[in-house]
Amino acid sequence: MIDFSFKGSQRYYIQSALNIDEESKREQETLSLNKINDSFKKIIVVKGDIIPWHDENGVLYIGIRQFLLDENAMDL
């Protein structure tokens, strides 16, 4: 299930995941996001602390702590 978030006029698609340690888990978590054909930002928030990164489809992966505490996290 994908959650939605709005910040001003900007829309974000947000997926939460316990972890994405295995490729099969990452594919499972991104499946619904990759089916969306628009240009709004897609984000997967994971439980652990990770260095934020983007995959080949532009999906942002970020840790929950940074996502919640960094007011600019959704704009990375």
Given pLDDT bands bounded at 50, 70 and 90, which one contains residue 66? Answer: very high
CA 25, 22, 68, 7 dihedral sign is negative
Per-residue pLDDT reduced to its tens digit, 27-61: 888 888 888 888 899 999 999 899 999 999 999 99
CA angle 7, 41, 61 (to 5 degrees): 110
Place of tokens 């299930």: 1
Which residue's entry shows tokens 């007011």? 71
Please check the confidence at residue 74 and state whether its pLDDT lies above 90: no
Name the pTM for this structure.
0.86
What's the DSSP call for residue 18? S
